[in-house]
Amino acid sequence: MINYQEILDKIYNEVYAEQYRGKVADYIPALARVPVDKFGMAICTIDGREFIVGDAHENFSIQSISKVFTLTLAIDKAADTLWQRVGREPSGNRFNSLVQLEYENGIPRNPFINAGAIVVTDSIFEGIGKTKNNILRFVRELSNNQTISFDEEVAESERIYGDRNRALANFIRSYGNLNHAADDVLDVYFHQCAIPMSCIDLARGFLFLANKGFSPIANKQILNIRQAKRINSLMITCGLYDAVGDFVYRVGLPGKSGVGGGILAIIPNQLVVAVWSPGLNEAGNSLLGTLALELFTTYASNSIF
């Protein structure tokens, strides 16, 4: 049996020796205050074992990792129309880019770039308050943590500095691909990004993706096997924006990142691993988080390949 604790401890020591840790996201000022030297990692296996190292219990802003939660809700509720409104191809552009939207007529390339996630949130929209509650209830249930809530300060910071996301939402709406008012959908989107969670919360919360759609934490079938396969596949091709090729090359797993410095990765039928290091690379993905996951699959000789 692989000794995951030994591997995590080894990774922790190696990562701490790194001189350059990347740059904390500062385009959302509330995120710029997070100390760059934080590092945590957690593993949850589908048979109930958990391993942690460093700041694995400390909350950070999940940011774009929330796009996996909302896609999960949408795939279950709005699947018939969803794929007419959002594509399934890697974008090759930054996560908040506008360029493709015009020549692709307001259909975002995939659900994990900002434009796509805004459409996904629109597809599950049932009023601002209700949609926010639905998301929160879902995340709490999946992670078995009723204390998870929105960080209003981060959400407000995203709103104030959200001109680019407002541009995206309004542009999409001009093509008829947003059914609700742009500011209402963005209110929910900013809040879903501003959920603070820890590595252990995330590793528990996404166990259903490693376990054919069944969450051992919530003791519930969240998605069917085919739906779970599809979300994992989308993470392989689109989960780390325009750096997804490099990530999959190095790590060999489906993953999803956020500008809070978190990355979550799945080994199907085995485990979820979540890592947090707030310093980002140029693509907006955690620099040392990517390195830690690369070391993880290397030392464990365990990936999907």
Would you tell me which residues interact with ligand GLN (CB under 6 A)?
63-64, 95-96, 114, 158, 165, 193, 258-259, 284
Question: Considering beta carbons, is residue 255 or 284 the nearer one to ligand GLN?
Answer: 284
Of the pair 213, 239, the CB lying nearest ligand GLN is at: 239
In the complex, the smallest distance separating the C-beta of residue 161 from ligand GLN, rounded to whole angstroms, is 9
C-beta of 96 vs 303, nearer to ligand GLN: 96
Instruction: State in angstroms the smallest separation of the CB of 133 from ligand GLN.
Output: 20
Looking at beta carbons only, is 63 or 110 nearer to ligand GLN? 63
Q: Which is nearer to ligand GLN, 51 or 201 (CB)?
A: 201
Whole-angstrom distance, CA of residue 219 vs CA of residue 181: 36
Shortest separation between residue 224's beta carbon and ligand GLN, angstroms? 28
Q: Least CB distance from residue 229 to ligand GLN, whole Å?
A: 24
Amino acid found at 115: A
Nearer residue to ligand GLN within complex by CB, 63 or 297: 63
- For residue 138, the minimal CB distance to ligand GLN (Å) is 18
Q: How far is the CB of 114 from ligand GLN (least distance, A)?
A: 5
